[in-house]
Structure 1
Amino acid sequence: MNSVQMTLYNILLTIFFLTFNSCEGQNNSQTRQGETVEIGIMVPDLDKTIWAIYQDKSSNYWFGSKENGIFFYNGQQIKQMTVKDGLVSNAIRGFQEDAAGNIFIETERGVSKFDGRTFKTLQVAPPGYFTNEWVLNPDDLWFRMGAGSNGPYRFDGKYLHFLKLPQSPQEAEFKSKNKNTSVRPYGLYTIYKDRKGIMWFGTASLGICRFDGKTLSWHYEEQLQTTPEGGDFGTRAIFEDKEGEFWINNTRFRYNLKPDSSININFQKEDGIGYLDERNKKEFPFFLSITEDKEGNLWMATYDNGVWKYNGKELIHYPVRDGATDVLLFTIFKDNKGVLWLGSHNAGVYKFNGESFEKMFEK
């Protein structure tokens, strides 16, 4: 083979390997926007009860319903996926994605992993396999698996490890006031990872437990748990803003964390922000979900009072209605382009158009 033939051979060989690797990479990756998954059935609309929203790295949207499975939207079509397709449960509570593009679906009965083609149920570590091992690895995923467990599940890439929360300083007082033994005060309402990778766990009745990799610490305040109407709100939302300060459940205070290794989280409280209601009384909205836009504004979704935006100076109210009916909100999500989405209990999904939240996917 002469030099010209050798050069041509090398060029053709390079093209072959580039083409092969490109095709192989596409086969192993998540579906791209505009493509669809092979499983599930085509549907014209979403469920009315959407409790979780996520957009993956390939720009596909995942909507999790209260009890009717997943609604997958690729920008063109909607597909519904349920236990008939391999999901462990139809009660969807959250989505996460790992570095390889696998989607993890948290449900009331377990966690399903979707690799682009099929669902696989994650296995809980067998008894005695690193039982109750509290460690903090950057690639681990954390799940609630329902609000009734007395601690989180940590996924290390192989097994789910159940980690029991330590005793709260508030437990004795809670038990003295609540004789109903069926109530699970340690049940998790939310799990939050802050900018440093530290884990925060919001419980049903005992406030917050925080794990920094070494120490498990607690924080409880009556004003964070009890609404003005007297109901027990639980700890449903924790968020670290661009200035590194934390917002928990409502806007009465924001919290500046101080390093400490004691059993109690060491916070410095600063005044938050309120609004005047129709009686000219100052109120502080309780929110179930919170996010931050590209400009650093905070957006807080309440259950029955729309969305509140905090721009650093004031609270701005965005009512959300389905005709004449107030929409009961559950979650707010910022997608890959910074667009805000809302999931609700009674009216499906809403999207922010720059001025208001408009209903999406109407038939």
Structure 2
Amino acid sequence: MKYIHLYALLLSFIFCSPCTAQGRIDTLKSIITHQTKDTVTSYGPNTMVRNVKEDSNGHILIAAMFTGVLRYDGKSFTNLTSKLGLHRFWNVLEDRHGNLWFSTTDSGVYCYNGKSFQHFTTSEGMASNAVICIYEDSAGIIWFGTGGGVSRYDGKSFKNYTTQEGLSNNSIHTILEDKTGKFWFGTGGDACYFDGQAFTVFRNKDGKAFYNVWSIIEDKKGNIWFGASIVEDKKGNTLVVSPGLWRYDGSAFTLVAKRGASAIIEDKKGNIWTTGSLNPNGVGTWTLSRYDQKSLYSKKPVVTEIMSIEKMLCGLTEASDGSIWFGSMNGVYHYDGKTITDFKK
């Protein structure tokens, strides 16, 4: 058990033609067209990279705070948002129509169709201009996790869910639709799911809610994986927490590892990868870890620490070639199974 996160306080400080979800053109605010060329460089960003994704062309999309959203084609980095000015870019999504969505924690969301940008903020109906996550569901609806609740965009208008509608906490870190159609939300307070009618907070076998959930995935077997802490005690305004990587099989929760997991993916082979701190307060060593699929359900899964660094590690993704990309406090890294590459100048 450790005392609650300086890391969480840092994140709270950071936190504090037009395109649509259906590929249609509507009348919402389209603000910027291509009048200048995108910035191209042979070096990656040297600012915090919160999330990394791969697009349908096999290019790597990198959301770097105060730098922009960059696209890496294997040779050079193109800043797709250089004309938007400096913002705290946090996440990126390519939807099924090929539109790119860029979230910020200070200026809402931008949607880019390759020619022009469309800007969505509270003026267009979003719950908040601080947007942490973007998610496209099985019906093509775009969901946004914000600092003021969940915003659902159907291509025409926004529907917002907050604590007034039963959401457990308005600070949304991550969103997942599982194979049964339920939506899972990881929040700064706890985690819950939405069955279309009501929100349910999920708890461990001792009845305790999970705290500060940054990542949720569903594996190939239908298990839900997430990184979260359990609040063990409260001393004044200080919480005493125990962090961990958890797995939910539909009936019971299993603590897989007693270490932080701020980002989680499952690779093509079924291995689970995480980035997270070895120290519950977020200070000290952070690791990129791989949990061997052959031992995932044993009492002591085999975990390999691929990289350790005395700085925060962030979002990660597996590229189509099987390599792993992940962000950090000061740039983006690539792991090809043997070598870790740092793209900073």
Question: Normalising to structure 1: TM-score of the pair?
Answer: 0.65
Letter in 1 for 2:337: G
Once the two structures are TM-superposed, the CA of residue 285 in structure 1 deviates from its matched residue by: 1.4
Once the two structures are TM-superposed, the CA of residue 220 in structure 1 deviates from its matched residue by: 4.2
Aligned equivalent of 2:45 = 47
Aligned equivalent of 1:361 = 343
State the SS of the aligned residue for 2:87.
coil
Once the two structures are TM-superposed, the CA of residue 299 in structure 1 deviates from its matched residue by: 0.7
Letter in 2 for 1:39: K
2:323 is the counterpart of 1:334 = no
Label 1:197 to 1:58 Cα distance change in 2 as closer, same or farther (>3 A).
farther
Out of 193, 196, 202, the residue aligned to residue 210 of structure 1 is 193
Letter in 2 for 1:139: G
**What does residue range 71-90 of structure 1 map to in structure 2 within 5 Å?**
71-82=70-81, 85-86=83-84, 90=87
State the SS of the aligned residue for 2:101.
strand
Among all aligned residue pairs of Structure 1 and Structure 2, give the percentage whose two residues are the same amino acid.
Answer: 23
Once the two structures are TM-superposed, the CA of residue 316 in structure 1 deviates from its matched residue by: 1.8
- Unaligned stretches of 5+ residues in structure 1: 1-36, 128-135, 172-184, 226-233, 258-267, 275-283
Label 1:219 to 1:272 Cα distance change in 2 as closer, same or farther (>3 A).
closer
User: Does the CA-based 8 Å contact 1:308-1:315 persist in structure 2?
Assistant: no
**What does residue range 91-240 of structure 1 map to in structure 2 within 5 Å?**
91-108=88-105, 109-122=107-120, 138-145=139-146, 148-149=147-148, 151-166=149-164, 186-205=170-189, 207-220=190-203, 222=208, 224-225=210-211, 234-240=212-218
- Unaligned stretches of 5+ residues in structure 2: 1-34, 126-136, 229-243, 278-284, 296-300
2:221 is the counterpart of 1:243 = yes
User: Does the CA-based 8 Å contact 1:41-1:81 persist in structure 2?
Assistant: yes
Label 1:122 to 1:271 Cα distance change in 2 as closer, same or farther (>3 A).
closer
Letter in 2 for 1:339: S
Between Structure 1 and Structure 2, which shows a larger proportion of strand residues?
Answer: 2
Once the two structures are TM-superposed, the CA of residue 160 in structure 1 deviates from its matched residue by: 3.3
Out of 289, 293, 302, the residue aligned to residue 315 of structure 1 is 302
Question: Normalising to structure 2: TM-score of the pair?
Answer: 0.69
CA distance in 1 between counterparts of 2:60 and 2:266 reads 19
Once the two structures are TM-superposed, the CA of residue 213 in structure 1 deviates from its matched residue by: 2.4
Label 1:158 to 1:142 Cα distance change in 2 as closer, same or farther (>3 A).
same
Once the two structures are TM-superposed, the CA of residue 115 in structure 1 deviates from its matched residue by: 0.6
Letter in 2 for 1:216: F
Structure of greater relative contact order (alpha carbons < 8 Å, 6+ residues apart)? 2
Aligned equivalent of 1:230 = none
CA distance in 2 between counterparts of 1:326 and 1:213 reads 42
Out of 351, 359, 363, the residue aligned to residue 334 of structure 2 is 351
Between Structure 1 and Structure 2, which shows a larger proportion of helix residues?
Answer: 1
CA distance in 2 between counterparts of 1:270 and 1:162 reads 30
**Deviations for 1:86-126, whole angstroms, at most 9, x for unmatched residues?**
37x62112111222211111111211111112221136576
Could you say which structure has the larger radius of gyration?
A: 1
Label 1:319 to 1:59 Cα distance change in 2 as closer, same or farther (>3 A).
closer
2:39 is the counterpart of 1:56 = no
Once the two structures are TM-superposed, the CA of residue 46 in structure 1 deviates from its matched residue by: 2.1
- Structure 1 window deviating more from structure 2 (305-314 vs 106-115): it is 305-314
State the SS of the aligned residue for 1:139.
coil
User: Does the CA-based 8 Å contact 2:223-2:248 persist in structure 1?
Assistant: yes
Label 1:195 to 1:350 Cα distance change in 2 as closer, same or farther (>3 A).
farther
Aligned equivalent of 1:254 = 247
Once the two structures are TM-superposed, the CA of residue 168 in structure 1 deviates from its matched residue by: 6.2
Label 1:38 to 1:110 Cα distance change in 2 as closer, same or farther (>3 A).
same
| Alignment length (residue pairs) | 267
Letter in 2 for 1:301: T
User: Does the CA-based 8 Å contact 1:285-1:302 persist in structure 2?
Assistant: yes
Aligned equivalent of 2:10 = none
Aligned equivalent of 1:25 = none
State the SS of the aligned residue for 2:269.
coil
